[in-house]
């Protein structure tokens, strides 16, 4: 059932997350900040002469448990619509799937798929993921409720949304629906085509980590290589400086007393650093800060690029009390915290667990409890640094990350490992055997190692963009975009053209 679309009335629903000071994942904060910057730019919020038409917001009534016909409980799922380029009812529909966060009006206005819509007269719709943003079912986030949160539930929502929105907007039955998504939502886009090829004509899956993995040590392998990459401003010296900075952090943590107290203030660690588990929280946050510079390298809204980060570690002031790499890392923390509007880089383990155990939905729609639940019950994705070649600290180790699943949800490490194996068995991992899917990745992005980077046949193609970061192909175009990124976007457009030509030929054969 569709609850009709209403005109979006301005920035009231653009929820700001940057003022929070809670023990949450730094990488998620960075991703949300960058998405917000990219989606909000150029939206014409002034409503003055010459501004673009505003997207519409609507709500779909979705079943809480679509796999149980006797359970009629429902929730409202938010969607956004941009129909300003929609030429006719036979035209294509570009469905932008939301992932593990809030979805705003920019999702149908900026970057792709919105940028691709004018050329094909497409209707652009984005669908917020259940349990994230404002699409959270009533009743809180306890374990009973979270049992209805999974990728399979999300795909069931895609199916019912496709049918409801077709009726609501009077879309022709022959119109091709093309799914788009980035990161986890990119996996959903690929899986929507894999599981429902009669409803989804094709999919473009950007930076999609389709292989679930418990121990994601490969993440830091890519981070290490990227820090050495001269193409994006890295160097062997930079990677060595990162190792030196982390070694200095660990030395100061071990020293205790006044030295540790000074470190706590300098690196914005809130809470005690006396226990190993608390030190691991800080070291994990520092790893995420460096990983974030790589993962979002060169993107609008990113606080630091690899080139800037390496510049700090290699060119910062140096004296006996503040060795150069450590001082540069300290400056990097200051810059990122200022950009995100946060006071604290890390909290104690006890505070982290308490925050994640809270079952009241946050008004801001941050979604950290929900995403942790999905990693514990489907994906893993726990980034570790236990390989000797890894430039960071070996903390936090995998056992402490798995302990979080048990502390917060009562889920054992063996159950998490089993869930990861089941996910790969159900979807096919890195060989999903879906047709008419284009997998797009950047080789700077640490997540590309879990994606499809080589074609798996004539109908399952792949594009690996040199020196491109996470979901960079989806971002709004900029004059500073590299030639390889421009070429990659051209390839995406050409693939889309091929698919839509196939769809048009099918319409003609069908007598449309």
Rounded to a whole number, what is the distance in angstroms from the first to the last CA of the chain?
Answer: 27
Q: How far apart are CA 404 and CA 407, in angstroms?
A: 5
Q: How far apart are CA 392 and CA 223, in angstroms?
A: 10
Token readout for 166 is 């077709």
Please provide the DSSP assignment of 403-430 as one string: HHHHHHH---HHHHHHHHHHHHHHH-TT
CB 3 within 8 A of CB 59: yes
Q: How far apart are CA 427 and CA 47, in angstroms?
A: 45
Rounded to 5 degrees, φ, ψ at 405 are -60, -35
**Residues in CB range of 16: below 8 A, 6 or more apart:** 36, 364
Catalytic residues: 183, 445, 470
Q: How far apart are CA 122 and CA 381, in angstroms?
A: 35
CB 79 within 8 A of CB 129: no
Which residue is associated with the tokens 């570790």? 384
Q: How far apart are CA 451 and CA 436, in angstroms?
A: 16
* DSSP code for 346: B
Residues 132-147 as b/e (b if ≥16 CB within 10 A, e otherwise) read: bbbbbbeeebeeebbe
Q: Is 200 left (phi over 0), alpha (psi -120 to 50) or beta?
A: beta
Pairing assessment for the beta strands 93-97 and 74-82 based on DSSP bridges:
unpaired
**Residues in CB range of 6: below 8 A, 6 or more apart:** 56, 57, 58
341 in helix, strand or coil?
Answer: coil
**Residues in CB range of 422: below 8 A, 6 or more apart:** none
């Amino acid at each position: 059932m569709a609850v009709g679309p209403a005109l979006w009335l301005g920035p009231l629903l653009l929820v700001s997350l940057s003022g929070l000071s809670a023990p949450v994942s730094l990488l998620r904060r960075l991703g949300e900040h960058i998405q917000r910057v990219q989606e909000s730019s150029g939206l014409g919020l002034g409503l003055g002469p010459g501004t673009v038409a505003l997207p519409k917001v609507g709500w779909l009534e979705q079943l809480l448990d679509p796999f149980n016909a006797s359970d009629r409980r429902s929730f409202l799922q938010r969607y956004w619509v941009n129909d300003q380029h929609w030429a006719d009812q036979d035209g294509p529909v570009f469905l932008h799937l939301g992932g593990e966060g809030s979805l705003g009006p920019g999702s149908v206005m900026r970057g792709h798929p919105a940028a691709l819509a004018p050329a094909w007269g497409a209707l652009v719709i984005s669908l917020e993921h259940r349990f994230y943003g404002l699409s959270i079912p009533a009743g809180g986030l306890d374990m009973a409720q979270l049992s209805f949160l999974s990728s399979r539930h999300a795909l069931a929502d895609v199916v019912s949304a496709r049918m409801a929105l077709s009726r609501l907007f009077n879309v022709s039955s022959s119109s091709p629906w093309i799914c788009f998504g980035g990161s986890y939502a990119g996996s959903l886009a690929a899986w929507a085509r894999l599981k429902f090829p009669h409803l989804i004509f094709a999919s473009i899956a950007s930076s999609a980590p389709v292989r679930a993995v418990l121990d994601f040590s490969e993440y830091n392998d890519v981070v290490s290589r990227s820090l050495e990459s001269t193409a994006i401003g890295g160097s062997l010296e930079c990677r060595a400086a990162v190792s030196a900075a982390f070694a200095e952090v660990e030395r100061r943590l071990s020293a205790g007393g006044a030295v540790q107290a000074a470190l706590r203030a300098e690196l914005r660690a809130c809470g005690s650093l006396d226990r190993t588990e608390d030190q691991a929280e800080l070291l994990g946050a520092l790893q995420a800060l460096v990983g974030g510079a790589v993962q979002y390298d060169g993107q609008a809204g990113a606080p630091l690029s690899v080139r800037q980060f390496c510049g700090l570690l290699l060119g910062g002031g140096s004296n006996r009390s503040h060795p150069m790499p450590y001082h540069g890392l300290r400056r990097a923390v200051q810059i990122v915290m200022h950009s995100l509007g946060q006071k604290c880089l890390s909290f104690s383990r006890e505070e982290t667990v308490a925050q994640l155990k809270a079952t009241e939905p946050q008004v801001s729609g941050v979604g950290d409890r929900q995403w942790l639940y999905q990693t514990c019950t489907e994906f893993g994705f726990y980034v570790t640094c236990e390989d000797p070649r890894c430039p960071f600290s070996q903390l936090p180790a995998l056992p402490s990350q798995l302990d979080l699943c048990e502390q917060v949800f009562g889920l054992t490490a063996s159950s998490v490992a089993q869930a990861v194996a089941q996910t790969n068995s159900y979807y096919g991992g890195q060989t999903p055997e879906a047709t008419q899917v284009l997998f797009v990745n950047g080789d700077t992005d640490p997540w590309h190692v879990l994606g499809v980077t080589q074609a798996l046949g004539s109908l399952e193609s792949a594009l690996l963009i040199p020196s491109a970061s996470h979901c960079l192909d989806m971002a709004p175009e900029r004059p500073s975009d590299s030639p390889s990124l421009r070429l990659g976007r051209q390839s995406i457009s050409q693939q889309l053209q091929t698919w839509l030509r196939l769809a048009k030929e099918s319409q003609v054969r069908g007598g449309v």
